[in-house]
Chains A and B, each alone.
Chain A
Amino acid sequence: MAFELPELPYAYDALQPYMSAETLQFHHDKHHLAYVDNGNKLLAGSGLEGLPLEEVVQKSFGTNQALFNNAGQHYNHIHFWKWMKPGGGGRKLPASLQARIDSDLGGFDKFREVFIEAGKGQFGSGWAWLALKDGKLEVMKTANGESPLVHGAKPLLGVDVWEHSYYIDYRNARPKYLEAWFDNLVNWEHVEEMFAAA
């Protein structure tokens, strides 16, 4: 099944001022599209055609680096768009998720702090995550196109810390981007959906 670029679930300017229309347009129309196009070229003849995306990601990891890079980033970005929404962020968490954050991560404030630190601490391109591993919530960070999917866990929330995610709007100030993203953009409903499915 060929990869397809999904439509953004909101207008390019819907996430302003926390993420500019220009950033979103380049990120979706150029970067994500390149992962889809390159991924499709590399998928052909890989022996993994026809598998669900999650399996392509997991099976190409460590065996077909070029395909993995693009498939991994395709998966990450499909969810990244859904993990954001206008008027998101803050403490508007579904109760079931809030309870698990309290029990597994020491409460919302601690989770926010550790998640943002993971984003700051990811050296170079990559992602910071909330994931479910062995039935427990964990904060993780991964390089480039990797995700919890290839580290024995299920991604629930991820933030892109490749510089193309924030350099137009925040320059080198990655911490400012992470704080603005977490406090104003997170779509907790999609987190809840992935938590329920995990």
Chain B
Amino acid sequence: MCLSIPSKVVKIDKENNMATVDTMGVQRDASLVLMGEEDVKIGDYVLLHIGFIMNKIDEEDALLSLETYRQIIEAMDEEERQRAVLDESECQNRGA
């Protein structure tokens, strides 16, 4: 139950200290009272939990993680390719 959901801010209602966020196609209102005054802007990614925005998601950091994942997958693929090549040559040796 403590899970919060990544969402994107689409509207801000300063007067009521509320925002409208999009969670993969579902739009919801969320309170901004846990955030500092100028903290949240339209287009920001945030974590939504039971009707409140509890924090921003650091875009740069998320991208950094994605880049790391891309690299480790590449490394794994490369190793698998090499192993395949090795297996192949082994087979040929055996055949010879």
Real binding pair: no
Question: Which residues in B have some Cβ–Cβ distance to A below 8 Å?
Answer: none
